[in-house]
Structure 1
Amino acid sequence: MRHPLKILLAGRPNLAFSELEALLSNQRQFLVTARAIGNGEDKSISELESAFNAVVLVLDKDWRGMLSACFPKETPSGKPLLVVGPPGDTELLRMAMRLGGRDFFTLPPTGDELIPALDRLATEEHDRHGGLSARVTTFMNGKGGSGASICAANYAHILAERRDRRVVLLDFEMQFGSLCTYFNLQSRSGLVRALEMVDSLDESALQGYTQKHPSGLYLLSAAAEGLVLPDDIHEERVAKLFGVLDEAFEDLVIDLPRRIDQASAAVLDRSDRVMLVVQQTVAHLQEIKRLVGVLDGVLGITPDRLLVIVNRYQKRGELTLKDFSGALPGVRVEGLPNDYANVSQSINLGIPLLQHAPRSPFCKSLLALEESFAQVDKPGSTPPRRGPLAWLPRAH
């Protein structure tokens, strides 16, 4: 997962500053905090920049006073500094370079040059911290009631139990979350509270919001009390929470409701893989085709990041995996067999399938699915042509 670049946007409150704030805030790869200068409570850049990866400073024709406030004693910025100011002012350009300015952009602000420059900074920051960090796998129903939650719960448990990885399972169903019942844990609003307190949250404080299963899997659940509306969950808080979780865990597995809003878009955008769970009917095929179109065409989630899981698959069903594959070009399609008795018992007992029925068809198929990803994720590896899923029903 790539962290969003944390940007401090500083400048005098005016039209150009507001336009630039709106421009950068619409870019999902950035996490922007705007700080207005000239309100009588000015702090220097050095006092503010420690929490950010880069500083974008917006200056107007009265730039000398702002620079004096931002850089007392002309102390250079300790973080990459990008300056936006009036054109044709060579004195300003020299001063910006003296303060450590990396790039200079002229007013009025546009994204044609500034956004690529910030993207380059994001890449450098990403590489500086060792490249890829926590993997994010999101499960989402392609049509309601398809079984995304049971798939997410057991997939996360397999990662923790079999791979011995630090895994957290997030229940983003804020109103009627039920993942706790799959592990015989008491429901509590840990995820909601963590989002509320995310500005002061760190790895140590995070322990107070999670629940730990004996397997080593951690759970951030929701919907224990009160009513949380989708509009109450802000994209910025989701991004900040992911940053904290990334420091503590190797894998984030997310059960995401079938809903497209700002919060879910933030989750999907930061997901390495999105597992779309459907069942074997024409209605499900029509719905998943529409959903994939929205994810790709609107949110930019390309087909190579998607996997469609046909849950409760039966060879004699009215549709085959090839039907799904043919309707979804470029999207991988897999089947999980109909194993109602074992899955139902697992849910009722609150015991994951890997413990309750490790030889059950559903569990064996999910294990093989996880194994196929483990092979692909090995450094320098390529997907096998006929790997551990060869014995499973799959589309060709």
Structure 2
Amino acid sequence: MAEPQTYDDDFLDEDDFLDPAEVERRLLSDSANEGYEEFGDLDGFSDGGDAQRPFGSRAAAAPKVPVTAPEDDWAEADAYVAEPVSDPTSGFDGFEPEGYAPQTIDPLVGEIDDDIPDQPIPRITIHAFCERPESGALVHNAANDRRLSKTHVEVELGGLPAAINRFATQSTPDLLIIESGMRGQGLFDQLEELAGFCDPGTKVIIIGAANDISLYRELMKRGVSEYLVPPMSPLHLIRTISGLYLDPEAPFAGKTIAFIGAKGGVGASTVAHNTAWCISENSHADCVLVDMDLSFGTAGLDFNQDPAQTLGDALSDPDRLDDALLDRLLVRCTERLSLFSAPATLDKDWDFGPEAYEAVLDKIRRQAPFITLDLPHTWTPWVKHTILGADQVVVTVTPELASLRNAKNLFDLIHASRPNDEPPKVVINMAGIAKRPEIPVKDFAEALGVQPALVLPFEPQLFGKAANDGQMIAEVDPKSKAAEGFSHLAAMLSGRAAAPQKKGLFGGLFGK
């Protein structure tokens, strides 16, 4: 590989671009911004006014100095056992699944930070001109991410000179990503030349070599939309692009949480419904529960609702679905929880493609901060598309071999298709059935590579009564350990603490 290009410039930063392994190491360490403390973090910062200026403009006013901190990488959440292991500090004797080692659960201090979902990126064309193959590989990685699934991305080497040569005779794309190790007048001269070929609506992201406030300000004056400095991950780049194309007419999209069972009958719907209820009631956050099992969905039964219109009506004509119609189709179960129920009939085949589901879900996401998706245990193109497109996935299992095998298959698929997302959460349900051989929880954790987020004991009387009465577990017995477990899972998924008035055995974990 050729030696990196050097530039004879007084402003040239001495640090080389880092290879991907070093990038990941520094992103996961406290030294990610080592050496740049006096400047703050520039990655991902965007000034609203300058971002709207066309590339090549010379605005007189300098943008505000960026002060945002770097985004944390995904961290694995602590596991929670609804029916805890015996612990002298817990105040009661708990149930311990076979082979499960006692664990300490660190108390949560203060309020949990809001988990803001990534906003949708529209159908745009992106062309990247990189100087180093490693940077091109990073852009390729970002292009394969679910968040950029609607975009068309091209990547080539050559940096600024290649971009100038290409667009001297071609129209420019919606977004240009250009890597340049230059600084000073040489960089500005080449940018000025490129600006002469750019269409008015083209946005430009520069990947530079130095974290320098004066350079950042000068680039913003010249109409550059964003300036990024390594080390960075594909997710940093994705979120930068997302911020540039945030729709001012519809700037909000709720977080989608997909619930699916590793096999039939493991209670994935029960977990989805109770978690949605806890998100809305405990955290005082609006939530929409979408029952996507069109033939056999039970959300209407569990919430004692029988709406005349259902999700099937919306899927039949997704182009007709607007905010007014959506308001009529959604059934309000509580002050903050709305239900989009399934038809739950066998009169139709309900044969819709992934595009119909995606169109409906895009509109539902505008209704609330959290959208919980209760998926059926089937494997069709639209189920796969929905899982891979969700912001978070929750897999419910029972402690048996078939669940472990299927969950492992799901994990492998999701990991391969979503390398920039955290792994799914695992809920082990119906643990501790008398005389039933069970796979130890630690074996599940080792096979899947993550600790379970929740272990629910087998309590047929409590869950049976809730189902028959059309109520949630917390309504039937708010002091039960299952209710506490669902509250913990809801807080983990939503990133929001339970309301202070909701007191219980583990209430202190979520309050201030």
Same fold, judged at TM 0.5 (above): yes
The percentage of aligned residue pairs carrying the same residue is: 22
- CA distance in 1 between counterparts of 2:197 and 2:321 reads 35
Cα 1:151–1:96 shift into 2, 3 Å: same
Which residue in the other structure is 1:312 paired with?
430
Q: Does 1:300 align with 2:422?
A: no
| Secondary structure of 2:245's aligned partner | helix
* Residue of structure 1 aligned with 2:472, choices 332, 352, 357: 352
Cα 1:100–1:179 shift into 2, 3 Å: closer
- CA distance in 2 between counterparts of 1:372 and 1:234 reads 29
Deviation at 1:344, TM superposition (A): 0.5
Q: Deviations over 1:308-331 (max 9, x none)?
A: 111012297522211110111145
Deviation at 1:296, TM superposition (A): 1.8
Q: Is the 8 A contact 2:315 2:360 kept in 1?
A: yes
Which residue in the other structure is 2:404 paired with?
285
Cα 1:102–1:287 shift into 2, 3 Å: closer
Q: Does 1:322 align with 2:322?
A: no
Q: Is the 8 A contact 1:2 1:270 kept in 2?
A: no
Q: Deviations over 1:292-342 (max 9, x none)?
A: 122223x32677331111101229752221111011114544311111101
| Secondary structure of 1:345's aligned partner | helix
Which residue in the other structure is 2:389 paired with?
270
Cα 1:211–1:341 shift into 2, 3 Å: same
Q: TM-score, normalised by structure 2?
A: 0.51
The total of aligned residue pairs comes to 307
Amino acid at match of 2:431: Y
| Secondary structure of 1:193's aligned partner | helix
Which residue in the other structure is 1:2 paired with?
118
Q: Is the 8 A contact 1:188 1:224 kept in 2?
A: no
Q: Does 1:147 align with 2:290?
A: no
Which residue in the other structure is 1:97 paired with?
198
Q: Is the 8 A contact 1:167 1:250 kept in 2?
A: yes
Cα 1:341–1:301 shift into 2, 3 Å: farther
- Greater share of strand: 1
Amino acid at match of 1:312: M
Gaps of 5+ in 2: 1-116, 126-142, 153-169, 177-193, 205-235, 498-504
Q: Does 1:223 align with 2:343?
A: yes
- CA distance in 2 between counterparts of 1:283 and 1:362 reads 24
Q: Deviations over 1:226-280 (max 9, x none)?
A: 32345x1333x33332332222111101111223433223322332321111112
- CA distance in 2 between counterparts of 1:269 and 1:320 reads 28
Which residue in the other structure is 1:165 paired with?
285
- CA distance in 2 between counterparts of 1:269 and 1:139 reads 12
- CA distance in 1 between counterparts of 2:442 and 2:339 reads 36
Q: Does 1:207 align with 2:327?
A: yes
| Secondary structure of 1:277's aligned partner | strand
The 5-angstrom pairing of residues 1-396 of structure 1 reads 1-7=117-123, 28-30=146-148, 81=174, 97=198, 99-102=200-203, 121-126=241-246, 133-186=253-306, 188-225=308-345, 226-230=347-351, 232-235=352-355, 237-297=356-416, 299-300=417-418, 304-314=422-432, 318-330=438-450, 332-373=452-493, 376=495
Q: Is the 8 A contact 1:6 1:31 kept in 2?
A: no
Q: Is the 8 A contact 2:400 2:438 kept in 1?
A: yes
Q: Is the 8 A contact 1:324 1:333 kept in 2?
A: no
| Secondary structure of 1:366's aligned partner | helix
| Secondary structure of 2:306's aligned partner | coil
Amino acid at match of 1:277: T
Gaps of 5+ in 1: 10-24, 35-62, 68-76, 84-92, 104-115, 379-386, 392-396
Cα 1:94–1:184 shift into 2, 3 Å: closer
- CA distance in 2 between counterparts of 1:156 and 1:360 reads 17
Deviation at 1:170, TM superposition (A): 0.4
- CA distance in 2 between counterparts of 1:389 and 1:325 reads 26
Amino acid at match of 1:134: G
Which residue in the other structure is 2:227 paired with?
none
Q: Deviations over 1:94-128 (max 9, x none)?
A: 9963554458xxxxxxxxxxxx9998643422497
| Secondary structure of 1:359's aligned partner | coil
Cα 1:100–1:249 shift into 2, 3 Å: closer
Cα 1:182–1:215 shift into 2, 3 Å: farther
| Secondary structure of 2:361's aligned partner | helix
Deviation at 1:134, TM superposition (A): 1.5
Amino acid at match of 2:444: F
Q: Is the 8 A contact 1:187 1:222 kept in 2?
A: no
Cα 1:368–1:99 shift into 2, 3 Å: closer
Cα 1:174–1:204 shift into 2, 3 Å: same
| Secondary structure of 1:219's aligned partner | strand
| Secondary structure of 1:318's aligned partner | coil
- CA distance in 1 between counterparts of 2:388 and 2:440 reads 30
- From the CA coordinates, give the structure whose radius of gyration is larger: 2
Cα 1:259–1:96 shift into 2, 3 Å: farther
Amino acid at match of 2:468: N
- Greater share of helix: 1
- CA distance in 2 between counterparts of 1:33 and 1:283 reads 38
Q: Is the 8 A contact 2:276 2:287 kept in 1?
A: yes
Cα 1:240–1:176 shift into 2, 3 Å: same
Cα 1:215–1:356 shift into 2, 3 Å: farther
Q: TM-score, normalised by structure 1?
A: 0.65
Amino acid at match of 2:459: D
